[in-house]
A = this chain, B = another copy of it.
Amino acid sequence: MTQHTALENITVLDLTRVLAGPLCGAMLGDMGANVIKIEIPNHGDDSRNYDPHINGESLYYANLNRNKIGITLNLKSEKGKEIFKELVKKADVLIENYRPGVMERLGLGYDELNKINDRLIYASLTGFGSYGPLSDRPGYDIISQAMGGLMSITGQPGSPPTRAGNAMGDVLGGLNMTIGVLAALNARTITGKGQRVDISLVDCVVASLEQAIQRYFVSGKVPERRGNSYEAIAPYDSYMAKDGYLVIGCGNQRLFEVLCRDILRDPSLIADERFSTVPLRVKNNKIFKEIIEEWAKDYTVEEAVEIVLEAGIPAAPIYDIKDIVENEHIANVREMFIDVDHPVIGKVKLNGNPVKLMDMMPSIRKPSPTLGQHNRDVYIGKLGLSEEEYNSLLKDGII
């Protein structure tokens, strides 16, 4: 064990708003980076207005901006630009999610900042990326789930295209942006230079579609919504038990045979010509589903899951948010909900970090900042401005 954190040598300027970009900043902060969130004076990140709120502070914001210190800065003013450039000189990483061209029009695009700090990694995230014919289009999570193809394959058969119930496009965007920043940091150990990283939410959703893409190229058939079954494997679906649904996944022949023999108690199914290979089982998934549900109807979900797991076959109940929050393994041992003391909100539970670095566990060391909370620390403490200069920045609305 050590007192180090994984990214303690990295300073990040975080200009991002709402979800995808802030998630990247929070991931880096959880792993120890020094993240400085820069917001518009008297306004701040749009998500400060998103529910849920306690004592006027948004928990949506609090979750995605923990482990950051917060300053305000008006990047449209000349003085603001000048100060920003001083911060860039001391930074390793800049993350931003303005529409393409905004930073350039401010005179703060990559080429400009590279001149003053060629070790800077400059990561942008937008709906469609910074280049390409659609790059000017505005993007939210729902836009990326729609145009990235995910909605077209999510949902019950015959139901309308369905959005994943969380902001999944944004989450994928934030994770891929984090990967880009960290890979560029490794590259910098080779070349000594930073570079641009360009993330598109739509790209991230498209990349997540895995085999649906190859399936289409091979068959020419457009993949459709197929409920909870999977085109690659079967049995692998949700099944109705006495009091709800469970899921079962048989990823290979051996597990299928165990299911037939030890659970369904009908070894003849193994040789049944409708089910003898994975592709046949995928094709006849509905018929086999009825066989499993005929068995499951006599058990509660809890009983059925236990019996199937006992045989060594992957199975699970379908948890709602209350279930996961109350689950000992998820909540306590894996620490996926972390108590944080926020100066305005009070005690709040934030999402834990799933990247368990075993010698340098990600942690929440700081609650999210109130708007401009660390102005004095940064402008006087780090940039060395005088009390007078600081007060004039405040008076002029630059910070």
Contacts and interface: CB of A to CB of B under 8 A. Distances in A.
B175 A150 contact: no
B175 A245 contact: no
B160 A212 contact: no
A236 interface: yes
Given A132-B334, A162-B162, A354-B206, A183 B180 contact: no
A208 interface: yes
B211 A63 contact: yes
Contacts of A312: 138
A232 B51 CA distance: 6
Nearest to A228: B163
Q: Which of A49, A187, A195, A237 has the most CB of B within 10 A?
A: A187
Each complex incorporates copies of this chain amounting to 2
Interface string A3-44: 011111110000000110001000100010000000000000
Contacts of A322: 216, 222
A239 to B, nearest CB: 11
Given A138-B313, A166-B208, A208-B168, A147 B324 contact: yes
A159 B156 contact: yes
Q: Which of A143, A208, A214 has the most CB of B within 10 A?
A: A214
A226 B218 CA distance: 34
Interface stretch (A196-204, A264-272, A378-386): A196-204
Interface stretch (A70-78, A81-89, A355-363): A355-363
User: Which 5 A-B pairs have CB atoms at the shortest separation, nearest pair first?
Assistant: A153-B165, A182-B182, A132-B333, A59-B214, A203-B354
19 contacts: A50-B232, A63-B211, A63-B213, A138-B313, A141-B249, A142-B228, A142-B314, A146-B246, A147-B318, A147-B324, A152-B319, A153-B166, A163-B230, A166-B208, A171-B172, A176-B354, A183-B357, A206-B330, A207-B353
